[in-house]
Every structure is written in structure tokens, then in C-alpha cells.
Structure 1
Amino acid sequence: MREKVEAVLDKVRPMLQADGGDVELVDITDNGIVQVRLQGACQGCPMSQITLKNGIERTVLKLVPEVKGVEAV
């Protein structure tokens, strides 16, 4: 599953990088929660939670159905 999640993150990464940010996969828990670290301009951005939920999580859940959620660590 890790490879699938990395592939999805590679799809959303250009959108983040266009705004000076990035995302790093930290871990996938046993219960299907993907833990990511927002980097660059995304770190501390007031819109980062919206980016996480509406951009990253929505795409990961759509393309990797075994994932239950995405959270920032």
C-alpha cells in the first residue's frame, strides 16, 4: 500500500510545489491512516488544513480505497 500512496502523493505534489510547498509520507498506521508532513510554504500556512483535506486526502481516498484517512503530523 505504501507504493500506491507514494504514487498518489507524486500526483498532488506538483500542485503543492507550484505554491512553494511539498508533502512527505511519514507513515501508514495499521488502521489505514496515512500520516504526512507538509513542508515548505505549506508548513504553517493558514490554508494547510484545507489543502490536506480537500486536496491530498480526497485524492488518496479516491485512488487508494484501503486508506481510511490522511492526517498531518
Structure 2
Amino acid sequence: MNTEELRLNIEKALDEIRPFLQSDGGDISLISIDNDSSVKVRLEGACVGCSVNQMTLKSGVEMTIKKYAPQIQEVINISGL
């Protein structure tokens, strides 16, 4: 899978997650893909400062991204940018 295919698969994963975040007043953006193994995202809106956002990130976001792009090793939330 090349970098463009990887980006498209990660965007598909985020599109699957986005409705759940938006229903709670939040959102998520893809910031970068590093070395085709690490993804940086930014939780937005109501997700910023939410006490469950780290759990959401690990259980929902990371799991869904890995389903679409198994080579991804980690998902990092970049906040406050």
C-alpha cells in the first residue's frame, strides 16, 4: 500500500468514526502520517478536554484505523494546535 492509499484508508476510518463524535458535538481531523506507521489526529469541538477522549482514541479511533490500515502502530492525539 502506498502513502496515498494509506491516507485514503485512514480517511475512510475517520469517516466511519466521525458521526459518533459529531453526535456528541465533536470531530476529528487527520494531521499527519509518519513513517507509514504513526498517525497524528486532532480531536475537536466537545472532544477537546473530554474526560473519555483518551479512551475514545484508543478503543474507537485506533482500532478503526488499524482495521483499515493494519500497518499503523500508533495513533496520537495532537491537542491545542
TM-score range, shorter chain: over 0.9
CA distance in 2, matches of 1:52, 1:9: 11
Residue number among 26, 42, 45 corresponding to 1:40 in the alignment:
45
Q: Give the aligned partner of residue 54 of structure 1.
A: 59
**Structure number with bigger Rg:** 2
Q: Indicate conservation of the 8 Å contact 2:36/2:71, yes or no.
A: no
Question: Unaligned regions of 5+ residues in structure 2, if any?
Answer: 1-5
User: Normalized against structure 2, the TM-score is what?
Assistant: 0.86
Determine what percentage of the aligned residue pairs are the same residue. Answer: 45
CA distance in 2, matches of 1:10, 1:65: 17
Root mean square deviation of aligned Cα:
0.9
What is the aligned length? 73
Q: Give the aligned partner of residue 3 of structure 2.
A: none
CA distance in 2, matches of 1:8, 1:44: 22
Question: Unaligned regions of 5+ residues in structure 1, if any?
Answer: none
Task: Say which SS state the counterpart of residue 61 (structure 1) adopts.
Answer: helix
Q: CA deviation at 1:66?
A: 1.6
Deviation >3 Å, runs of 4+: none
User: Normalized against structure 1, the TM-score is what?
Assistant: 0.94
Q: CA deviation at 1:61?
A: 1.0
Q: Give the aligned partner of residue 30 of structure 1.
A: 35
Q: CA deviation at 1:68?
A: 1.0
